[in-house]
């Protein structure tokens, strides 16, 4: 009823792959505009699926998901793309196009605004060098602008991915394990960078993290996810060691199991894509 007040509102959201495996098993969540939230939990818990629901890549199997009061079940075609445009994503593996030059990967953040023809012409003659340059300056790799993306290091590529989000200039920034493939110092730098860019422009920020320390240190709200359910949703000072232990408990044995089943989920749902 007052779902319009929230950036996101999830009511008993479930996502099934292949009819029996529940990747998400009844999530209720409300997220306000401008909040900074960390998501933690064992791998295979459903964090990535949750992100894919939140950025409208996947759609809930059942339950309701509202974005700015809009029911995503009713979004198709142009309206779906408009909502996606307002949500920027950063991924664990950067998800850049390796063979393109950095500038094209950065300007890809504009695709939701550019007409198709203009975006194609930009591949021949970059359309807005200044915009790309500004974004890359903010992440401090402006000198790489014309290099081929696959020639950059992992950390640099993650910065390019963040520059792409800067160009996209969304209302929400979702980052799915953005630092799990970089070293600890760089990890906190990138987390701080994400917080800074979303703070300055009052964006909502959701980051899932492998590192509990980073989550507790930088985020005022931390959500623990396990087996497709939210087990806690608190400010860091209220999260006890017991809760954390519970969150990751039974995981050493389960770990391998969930890891492989989550792999299966992918292959069942999208065999030819993976």
Residues ≥6 apart with Cβ < 8 Å to 228: 14, 15, 22, 23, 24, 25, 26, 27, 45, 46, 49
Helix axes 154-168 and 184-200, enclosed angle (nearest 10): 10
* Nearer to another protein among residue 92 and residue 188 (C-beta): 92
Any contact of residue 265 with another protein (CB under 8 A)?
Answer: no
Instruction: Give the Å distances, CA to CA, from 7 to 149, 172, 191.
Output: 33, 8, 22
Any contact of residue 116 with another protein (CB under 8 A)?
Answer: yes
* In the complex, least distance from residue 170 CB atom to another protein, rounded to whole angstroms: 8
Six token digits for residue 67? 């974005």
Residues ≥6 apart with Cβ < 8 Å to 262: 23, 43, 44
Quickly count helices (H) and strands (E) in the chain: 10, 10
The DSSP 8-state label assigned to residue 148 in this structure reads B
Say if residues 210 and 248 touch (Cβ distance below 8 Å): no
For another protein, the binding residue among 42, 44, 46, 88 (CB under 8 A) is 88
Any contact of residue 125 with another protein (CB under 8 A)?
Answer: no
Any contact of residue 121 with another protein (CB under 8 A)?
Answer: no
Interface segment toward another protein; rule CB under 8 A; list 20-28, 93-101, 211-219, 230-238: 93-101
Q: What are phi and psi of 224, to 5 degrees?
A: -100, 130
Interface segment toward another protein; rule CB under 8 A; list 19-27, 30-38, 69-77, 234-242: 69-77
Q: How many positions of this chain bind another protein (CB under 8 A)?
A: 49
* Nearer to another protein among residue 48 and residue 212 (C-beta): 48
Any contact of residue 274 with another protein (CB under 8 A)?
Answer: yes
- Helical ranges in the chain per DSSP H: 47-54, 77-85, 102-107, 116-124, 129-138, 154-168, 184-200, 212-218, 241-248, 251-269
For another protein, the binding residue among 16, 29, 111, 243 (CB under 8 A) is 111
Any contact of residue 72 with another protein (CB under 8 A)?
Answer: yes
The DSSP 8-state label assigned to residue 144 in this structure reads G
Interface segment toward another protein; rule CB under 8 A; list 105-113, 182-190, 239-247, 255-263: 105-113
* Nearer to another protein among residue 119 and residue 188 (C-beta): 119
Any contact of residue 175 with another protein (CB under 8 A)?
Answer: no
Binding site for another protein (CB under 8 A): 52, 55-59, 72-73, 75-77, 80-89, 91, 93, 95-100, 104, 108-114, 116, 119-120, 123, 161, 164, 168, 269-270, 272-274
């Amino acid at each position: 009823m007052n779902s319009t007040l929230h950036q996101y509102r999830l009511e008993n959201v479930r996502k099934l792959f292949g009819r029996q495996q529940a990747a998400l098993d009844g999530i209720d969540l409300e997220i306000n505009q401008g909040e900074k939230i960390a998501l933690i939990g064992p791998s295979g818990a459903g964090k990535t699926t949750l992100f894919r629901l939140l950025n409208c890549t996947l759609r809930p199997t059942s339950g309701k998901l509202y974005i700015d009061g809009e029911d995503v079940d009713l979004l198709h075609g142009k309206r779906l793309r408009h909502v996606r445009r307002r949500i920027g994503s950063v991924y664990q593996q950067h998800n850049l196009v390796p063979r393109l030059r950095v500038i094209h990967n950065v300007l890809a953040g504009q695709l939701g605004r550019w007409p198709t023809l203009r975006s194609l012409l930009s591949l021949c003659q970059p359309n807005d060098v200044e915009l790309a340059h500004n974004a890359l300056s903010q992440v401090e790799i402006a000198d790489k602008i014309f290099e081929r993306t696959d020639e950059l290091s992992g950390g640099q590529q993650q910065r390019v991915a963040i520059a792409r989000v800067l160009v996209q200039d969304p209302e929400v920034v979702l980052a799915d394990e953005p630092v799990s493939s970089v070293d600890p110092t760089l990890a906190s730098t990138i987390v701080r960078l994400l917080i800074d860019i979303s703070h300055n422009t009052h964006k909502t920020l959701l980051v899932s993290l492998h590192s509990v320390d980073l989550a507790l240190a930088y985020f005022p709200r931390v959500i623990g996810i396990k087996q497709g359910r939210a087990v806690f949703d608190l400010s860091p000072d209220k999260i006890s060691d017991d809760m954390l232990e519970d969150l990751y408990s039974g995981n050493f044995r389960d770990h391998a199991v969930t890891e492989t089943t989550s792999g299966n989920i992918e292959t069942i749902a999208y065999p030819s894509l993976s």
